[in-house]
Chains A and B, each alone.
Chain A
Amino acid sequence: MTLLTVEGLAVSRGGLRAVEGVGFTLDPGQALILRGPNGIGKTTLLRTVAGLQPPVEGRITIPDDAVAYAAHADGLKPALTAAENLRFWAQVFGGDGVAAALAAMDLQALADRPAAALSAGQKRRLGLARLLVTGRPLWVLDEPTVSLDAASVARFAVVIRDHLGQGGAALIATHIDLGVAEARVLDLTPFRARPGRTSRPSGFNEAFA
């Protein structure tokens, strides 16, 4: 069973087409790394796949409730402790394994620390640990390694590998080498939208921008 099928996808940001004609599939156990220069629309594409905005053209096919999305912001509440933050997301997604997720990202020692007292890299690790408690097969990751040190990147690569090994899949936008050797790479540069064509449902976006 294919986890994600993208056909002829065009996405727009602020009423302007970013990339168009993108197509790929992701089967369980596969990872796809998106590359491309700043502003080409990696984030927009990931948000579209995650269902936060509609595609301008093309089709995205995903099984129901399959996506766990991790954006630039970690979605952590500074007043809650690391464990409480994770426990909340575990309850929302109906998953469990808070302790295992903390262990996987080497956060056990910080479990009772308020998220406000964590460093940027520690917050990032906590934000990524959230993926583990969602129990969802398709991870959609936007620059997951920002502010992580080399050791944490390696640790996260292990987490991704485990996830792929358990039949998961990952769609990752990143500029660095994650060290997940089996991942395919898709360079978005050839899919840059031709200038001059505006996206059809742009008016609404602009009114609220």
Chain B
Amino acid sequence: MIALLIRDLRLATRAGGGFGLGVAFFLVLSALVPFGIGPDRAALAPVAPGILWVGALLACLLSLDRIFALDHEDGSLDLLATAPLPLEGTVAVKALAHWITTGLPLILAAPVFGVLLQLPPAAMPWLVLSLLLGTPALSMLGAFGAAITVGLRRGGLLLSLLVLPLYIPTLIFGAEVTRRGAEGAAVQTPLVFLAGITLAAAALIPFAAAAALRINLR
């Protein structure tokens, strides 16, 4: 499993791997919003948590179809399915690799982009914490969508349509943590829900996605 993780990370960081694409998209979005809404703090600060979370979510979505599609195209997925690794483990590892290459850079970049959007300094730690708890669920749910649409030509759009509704709970609670953090209110309830969604996704998705893969490989 570690070999698979290392391979996926290596592939993502080599030429054409798409590493950094998510962060670049996040930057573009965070830089464009102030031009659209206007730069003053009174207008930007209230919407900043929501924009940052929507941006992180869309950036995550960009690279989802690569989780399984590339391995399916070159035949690796068939070979992985016949390898001694359980397919559930393969799904979990590939979702983890997606999170490390997409989610983790977003978390590190988020405070910088928060400044662009006039996010109050008090909210910064909460933004980082909510992303840290929430983005693994995005990668997991995305792996499930990618497993369902693997092998479909132009499956990317269908994947987005399937996955975005599943992202809504994470988005709601993640943005709520950041918003409450900005106001100095209690953040415990949304934080617990956010962590709960992530844990549930991490526990259940590998089995669901592996089942979807088995059907698609037939």
User: Interface of A with B (CB < 8 Å)?
Assistant: 47, 50-54, 65, 67-69, 71-80, 84, 88-89, 91-94, 130, 204-205, 208
- Measured between beta carbons, the chain A residues less than 8 angstroms from B81 are 51-52
Judged by a CB distance under 8 angstroms, whether B192 is at the interface is: no
- Measured between beta carbons, the chain A residues less than 8 angstroms from B75 are 71-75
Closest residue of chain B to A94, judged by CB?
B84
What CA separation (Å) do A64 and B204 show in the bound complex? 26
Closest 4 CB pairs of A and B: A73-B75, A91-B3, A75-B76, A53-B218
- Measured between beta carbons, the chain B residues less than 8 angstroms from A74 are 74-75
Instruction: Report whether B82 and A77 are in contact in the complex, using a CB–CB cutoff of 8 Å.
Output: no
- Measured between beta carbons, the chain A residues less than 8 angstroms from B85 are 92
What CA separation (Å) do A22 and B119 show in the bound complex? 68
17 residue pairs of the A-B complex, CB under 8 angstroms, read: A52-B217, A53-B217, A69-B82, A73-B75, A74-B74, A75-B79, A77-B76, A79-B10, A79-B11, A79-B15, A80-B11, A84-B10, A88-B7, A92-B80, A92-B84, A92-B85, A93-B83
Interface size on B, residues (CB 8 A): 26
Instruction: Report whether A77 and B7 are in contact in the complex, using a CB–CB cutoff of 8 Å.
Output: yes
Instruction: Report whether A65 and B218 are in contact in the complex, using a CB–CB cutoff of 8 Å.
Output: no
Judged by a CB distance under 8 angstroms, whether B153 is at the interface is: no
What CA separation (Å) do A92 and B14 show in the bound complex? 21
Instruction: Report whether A76 and B216 are in contact in the complex, using a CB–CB cutoff of 8 Å.
Output: no
Instruction: Report whether A80 and B74 are in contact in the complex, using a CB–CB cutoff of 8 Å.
Output: no
Instruction: Report whether B74 and A75 are in contact in the complex, using a CB–CB cutoff of 8 Å.
Output: yes
Instruction: Report whether A73 and B78 are in contact in the complex, using a CB–CB cutoff of 8 Å.
Output: yes
Judged by a CB distance under 8 angstroms, whether B4 is at the interface is: yes
Where chain A touches its partner, the secondary structure class is loop
Instruction: Report whether B216 and A208 are in contact in the complex, using a CB–CB cutoff of 8 Å.
Output: yes
- Measured between beta carbons, the chain A residues less than 8 angstroms from B17 are 79
Smallest Cβ distance from A132 to chain B, in angstroms?
Answer: 14
Per-residue A-contact encoding for B59-70, CB less than 8 Å = 1, 0 else: 000000000000
What CA separation (Å) do A76 and B16 show in the bound complex? 15
- Measured between beta carbons, the chain A residues less than 8 angstroms from B217 are 52-53
**Interface positions of B from 6 to 29, Cβ below 8 Å from A:** 7, 10-11, 14-17
- Measured between beta carbons, the chain B residues less than 8 angstroms from A73 are 73-75, 78
What CA separation (Å) do A73 and B75 show in the bound complex? 5
Instruction: Report whether A69 and B11 are in contact in the complex, using a CB–CB cutoff of 8 Å.
Output: no
Judged by a CB distance under 8 angstroms, whether B215 is at the interface is: yes
Instruction: Report whether B3 and A51 are in contact in the complex, using a CB–CB cutoff of 8 Å.
Output: no
- Measured between beta carbons, the chain A residues less than 8 angstroms from B82 are 50-52, 67-69
- Measured between beta carbons, the chain A residues less than 8 angstroms from B15 are 79
What CA separation (Å) do A76 and B14 show in the bound complex? 15
What CA separation (Å) do A149 and B216 show in the bound complex? 34
Per-residue A-contact encoding for B112-133, CB less than 8 Å = 1, 0 else: 0000000000000000000000
Closest residue of chain A to B216, judged by CB?
A208
Closest residue of chain A to B12, judged by CB?
A79
Per-residue A-contact encoding for B66-107, CB less than 8 Å = 1, 0 else: 000000011110111111110000000000000000000000
Instruction: Report whether B215 and A208 are in contact in the complex, using a CB–CB cutoff of 8 Å.
Output: yes
With A51-B81, A75-B79, A80-B14 known, 11 other A-B pairs at CB within 8 A are A52-B218, A73-B78, A75-B78, A77-B11, A78-B74, A79-B16, A80-B10, A88-B7, A91-B2, A91-B3, A92-B83
Closest residue of chain B to A127, judged by CB?
B75
What CA separation (Å) do A207 and B149 show in the bound complex? 12
- Measured between beta carbons, the chain A residues less than 8 angstroms from B3 are 88, 91-92
What CA separation (Å) do A179 and B11 show in the bound complex? 38
- Measured between beta carbons, the chain B residues less than 8 angstroms from A92 are 3-4, 80, 83-85
- Measured between beta carbons, the chain A residues less than 8 angstroms from B83 are 89, 92-93
